[in-house]
């Protein structure tokens, strides 16, 4: 986070504290602070809320669009016009802090106009930044062969009632037989605390697990609710949420590899990530937890094309 963006956050917190103190005075002695209600409202609206939006917006939105801010030199101009305009409006409204006999109309209009200019600077800068972003190719849709339905297991009163939106970690905790059932379907890493922690962090549901790996969600749900491990042949599948996974020793980068691990093992891939995601990728904390395919979906980049480009740079054999 650069200096000016950080200054917006600090200013927002300052106005929040100042607005809270003024609000306390308005609540205790409303008659005394009647004329200060305008100041109280604008400290919280144009001070706390707007400054926080400015700081977070300048930092987050360019990174989410894999680009850089269109006019970074306008940030200090925006910061000072926003603060001068706000404080000037509060000081000149109804002549609160003006000498007696001085008309407040012209000073207030000047400061209000300054505040409007600051808002337009924010709108123009982010609008131009978003407009300069080129959408990437849509992710390829891989057709999935229809699955042959297995005979339904014998009916039995369920011990628990799970739904397709139930979290996998919740099912594993409540249903002792769930671990064995999922293992029969090829789910790996259920004994690894890091893998289970990543499942909880990404909120993996039964529906997502079934859809991703070509399982019939209702059949898996019935099996788990009954708590009986079906002995029929299971569909082999792998479940990898990227719990610190690293590229294999022979070199190729895999879709579920963590971006930070790939950068550490193959520094030459930096150019590929910068081309596809922008320079903000390297200051984003998400690179320590996000996999290649997750970042590709967030930035609207074809995952297969990205992995192929990384493998070419890393010297992998396709």
Is-contact 206 185, C-beta < 8 A? no
Structure token pair of residue 53: 């939006």
**CA distance readout (Å), 122 to 26, 86, 90, 116:** 32, 15, 21, 10
Q: What angle do CA 36, 41, 46 make, to 5 degrees?
A: 125
* Separation CA 312–CA 269 (nearest Å): 9
pLDDT at 142: 60
Which pLDDT belongs to residue 314? 80
Going from N- to C-terminal start, the domains of the chain cover: 3-131, 150-240, 259-314
pLDDT along the chain (318 residues), means of 10: 89 93 85 80 91 92 82 92 92 76 82 94 91 62 65 60 81 80 73 70 74 71 69 39 39 78 84 80 69 75 82 68
Give the chain's count of helices (H) and strands (E): 14, 0
What's the pLDDT score for residue 229? Answer: 41
- Backbone phi and psi for residue 307, each to the nearest 5 degrees, phi listed first: -60, -40
In this prediction, residue 50 carries a pLDDT of 93
Asked if 277 and 298 touch (Cβ cutoff 8 Å), the reply is: no
CB atoms within 10 A of CB 117: 14
pLDDT of residue 11: 93
Q: Are 188 and 238 in contact (CB under 8 A)?
A: yes
Rounded to 5°, angle at Cα 119 from 102 and 77:
85
> Which residue, among 247, 285, 283, 244, has the nearest Cα to 266 in the 3D structure?
247
pLDDT at res. 244: 37
| DSSP helix/strand/coil, 291 | strand
Largest CA distance in the chain: 92
d(CA 118, CA 112): 10
Does this model's pTM top 0.85? My answer is no
Contacts 24+ apart (CB under 8 A), 34-42: 35/94, 35/96, 36/96, 38/90, 38/93, 38/94, 39/90, 39/93, 39/96, 42/86, 42/89, 42/90
pLDDT at 84: 94
The CA-CA-CA angle for residues 253, 255, 258, to 5°, reads 75
For the record, the structure tokens of 153 come out as: 């297991």
- The closest of 147, 163, 22, 42 to 94, measured between CA atoms, is 42
């Amino acid at each position: 986070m650069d200096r000016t963006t950080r200054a917006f956050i600090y200013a927002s917190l300052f106005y929040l504290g100042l607005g809270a103190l003024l609000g306390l005075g308005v609540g205790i002695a409303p008659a005394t602070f009647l004329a200060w209600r305008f100041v109280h409202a604008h400290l919280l609206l144009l001070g706390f809320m707007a400054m926080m939006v400015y700081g977070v917006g300048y930092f987050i939105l360019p990174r989410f669009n894999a680009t850089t801010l269109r006019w970074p030199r306008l940030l200090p101009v925006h910061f000072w016009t926003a603060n001068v305009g706000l404080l000037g409006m509060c000081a000149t409204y109804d002549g609160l802090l003006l000498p007696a006999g001085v008309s407040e109309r012209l000073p207030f209009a000047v400061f209000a106009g300054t505040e409007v200019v600051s808002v337009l600077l924010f709108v123009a800068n982010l609008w131009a930044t978003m407009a300069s972003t080129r959408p990437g190719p849509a992710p390829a849709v891989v057709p999935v062969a229809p699955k042959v339905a297995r005979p339904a297991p014998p009916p039995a009163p369920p011990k628990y009632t799970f739904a397709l939106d139930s979290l996998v970690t919740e099912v594993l905790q409540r249903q002792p037989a769930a671990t064995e059932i999922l293992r029969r379907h090829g789910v790996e890493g259920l004994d690894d605390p890091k893998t289970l922690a990543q499942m909880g962090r990404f909120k993996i549901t039964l529906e997502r697990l079934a859809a991703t790996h070509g399982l019939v969600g209702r059949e898996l749900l019935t099996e788990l609710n009954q708590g009986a491990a079906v002995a029929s042949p299971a569909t082999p599948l792998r479940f990898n949420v990227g719990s610190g996974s690293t590229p294999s020793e022979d070199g190729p980068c895999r879709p579920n590899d963590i971006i930070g691990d790939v950068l550490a093992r193959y520094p030459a891939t930096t150019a590929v990530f910068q081309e596809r995601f922008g320079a903000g990728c390297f200051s984003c904390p998400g690179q320590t937890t996000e996999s290649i395919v997750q970042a590709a979906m967030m930035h609207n980049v074809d995952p297969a094309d990205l992995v192929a480009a990384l493998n070419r740079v890393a010297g992998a054999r396709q």
